[in-house]
Chain A
Amino acid sequence: MTDHPSPRRTARNSGYLLCIDCEKLHRISQEGQHCDRCGARLHSRIPNSMNLSWASLLAGILLFLPANLLPIMTFKSFGQGEPSTILGGILHLLEQDMLMIGLVVLIASIVVPVLKIIALTILLCTVQFRLQTNLRQKTMMFRVVEWIGRWSMLDIFVIGILVALVQLGNIAHIEGNSGATAFAIVVLLTMFSAIAFDTRLIWDNGMPEADLPPENTDQKDER
């Protein structure tokens, strides 16, 4: 047992595992048992992380098309009105000179999900093909993607609010359509994909020398 861990040693290759729920360090022999502090099951890496993360992401990509092609809601006034898609709703806002909220909805409903899907694909490929470049930037990208992904639910909330509020019978009423369900599932699936992804896998394959202080820098000197 070493007294001072070297900067290249991970919990796993030193015979430890970290409880992901309460961050208590355990012996690696306790894999599969329950943490004595928080009661969660102990795993050195999230089990099946890659399979679950890939499956959710691919399902999300498949549903992304219907989510954007199917109408999400219909506004009817005196019997007139047509169903609109996400993109249609954004174009309508831009036409009416509501540039700011048009942009907000565009970012939340289209830009964020697309970027999130791209980012998760890059991360999963990094682990799958053992890529070893820009690991720190990729970890940072994951943190950003995990945080902004939930904002894609914005349009779903807008539909809910409008449908509840605009119920004036024949004068005006708004109803939700099946595209909203498809879109909500896309957001859910990408959130599941990010939860299943274990960032430690990014670092397992590669340990870039340049990112680390030289081996002989003893930590004792720093403190």
Chain B
Amino acid sequence: MVNIAMHGTPEHLTACHECDLLIEQVANQPGEDVICPRCHARLYYTTPNSIERLLALSVAGLILFIPANIFPILSLRVFGQSQSEIILQSAMSLYEGGLALVALLILLFAVVVPLFQLIALFYISSTLHYRWEGRLLRQAMLSYQHLRGWGMLEIFLLGVLISIIKLKDIADLDIGLGLYSLGALIVVITLSSIFFNPHQIWHEIDLHRKQRYADD
């Protein structure tokens, strides 16, 4: 019964990533979570069609990223003067005002990280779906996993809503196409983080690599 893998680790064993309890792997039904008996962390679960969903969502996200970043999210009119802004300008204005670090953080959390995560997700899902070579699969997975939590578009959107309420008595505000695109982009990113099942994708990467070795 004991199945010794290449490095002398029995394949039916795993450990809880939150409390280190050694656990015997059991086959789980789709939709059924396997929970750590000691700390109640979710150990593994099955996401049906995970790769296909992630592929579709990452393409949608990359497309939506463009209008969300090139069209104004808000425009403000006071005494005939008007001012509109795109996401990037929040960072630029702060930089010009001397708050370079805050500007850099906004640039990273609201633009760079979400874009990089979408690209990594597209790379991972397309490589696994179309069985491409995928030399950077490991790096793409590690970067996506380590960047989870650092993309903050949904917090940025709440910031926009608060700004609207703060300014609505002082000036006339127009909501731009950028804001609607941003809303849609956040839905897509949230769904993709729900369907991103690391345990399952690493397993697919194992299979992918074995298949490619077999082909050679």
Q: Which residues of A contact B (CB under 8 A)?
A: 1, 3-5, 7, 9-12, 14, 16, 18, 20-27, 30, 36-40, 93, 96, 98, 101, 104-105, 135-136, 139-140, 146-147, 150-151, 153-154, 156-169, 171-172, 175-178, 180-181, 184-185, 188, 191, 199-200, 202-204, 211-213, 219, 223
Q: Is B14 an interface residue (CB 8 A)?
A: yes
Q: Is B30 an interface residue (CB 8 A)?
A: no
Cβ–Cβ < 8 Å partners of B130 in chain A: none
Interface string of B98-132 (1 = CB under 8 A from A): 11011101100110000000000000000000000
Given the interface pairs A14-B22, A104-B162, A219-B24, the reply to whether A167 lies near B155 with Cβ below 8 Å is: no
Interface size on B, residues (CB 8 A): 75
Would B81 and A168 count as touching, CB distance under 8 A? yes
Would A154 and B2 count as touching, CB distance under 8 A? no
Would B162 and A105 count as touching, CB distance under 8 A? yes
Would B7 and A38 count as touching, CB distance under 8 A? no
Within 8 A of A (CB), among B111-164: 138-139, 141-142, 145, 149-150, 152, 155-156, 158-160, 162-163
Cβ–Cβ < 8 Å partners of B167 in chain A: 162, 165-166
Specify which of A5, A14, A156, A204 is in contact with B106 (CB 8 Å cutoff): A156
Cβ–Cβ < 8 Å partners of A161 in chain B: 74, 85, 90, 159-160, 163
Cβ–Cβ < 8 Å partners of B41 in chain A: 139
Cα–Cα distance between A168 and B172 once the two chains are bound (Å): 13
Would A38 and B202 count as touching, CB distance under 8 A? yes
Would A204 and B37 count as touching, CB distance under 8 A? no
Cα–Cα distance between A147 and B150 once the two chains are bound (Å): 11
Cα–Cα distance between A93 and B169 once the two chains are bound (Å): 12
Would A150 and B159 count as touching, CB distance under 8 A? no
Cα–Cα distance between A4 and B83 once the two chains are bound (Å): 67
Q: Is B33 an interface residue (CB 8 A)?
A: no
Would B99 and A176 count as touching, CB distance under 8 A? yes
Would A39 and B21 count as touching, CB distance under 8 A? no
Cα–Cα distance between A114 and B37 once the two chains are bound (Å): 31
Q: Is B46 an interface residue (CB 8 A)?
A: no
Cα–Cα distance between A111 and B104 once the two chains are bound (Å): 25
Cβ–Cβ < 8 Å partners of B139 in chain A: 39
Would B38 and A211 count as touching, CB distance under 8 A? yes
Cα–Cα distance between A200 and B49 once the two chains are bound (Å): 32
- 28 CB contacts below 8 A, A to B, read A1-B10, A3-B1, A10-B19, A14-B22, A23-B44, A24-B202, A30-B7, A36-B7, A38-B138, A39-B142, A136-B40, A139-B19, A150-B152, A153-B155, A154-B155, A158-B163, A161-B74, A161-B85, A161-B90, A162-B167, A163-B90, A165-B74, A168-B83, A169-B81, A177-B99, A191-B149, A203-B19, A203-B39
Specify which of B40, B84, B103, B162 is in contact with A154 (CB 8 Å cutoff): B162
Q: Is B50 an interface residue (CB 8 A)?
A: no
Specify which of A1, A176, A191 is in contact with B2 (CB 8 Å cutoff): A1
Q: Is B211 an interface residue (CB 8 A)?
A: no
Given the interface pairs A161-B74, A161-B85, A165-B74, the reply to whether A23 lies near B18 with Cβ below 8 Å is: no
Cβ–Cβ < 8 Å partners of B110 in chain A: 157
Cβ–Cβ < 8 Å partners of A21 in chain B: 142, 145
Specify which of A10, A153, A158 is in contact with B21 (CB 8 Å cutoff): A10
Cα–Cα distance between A36 and B8 once the two chains are bound (Å): 13
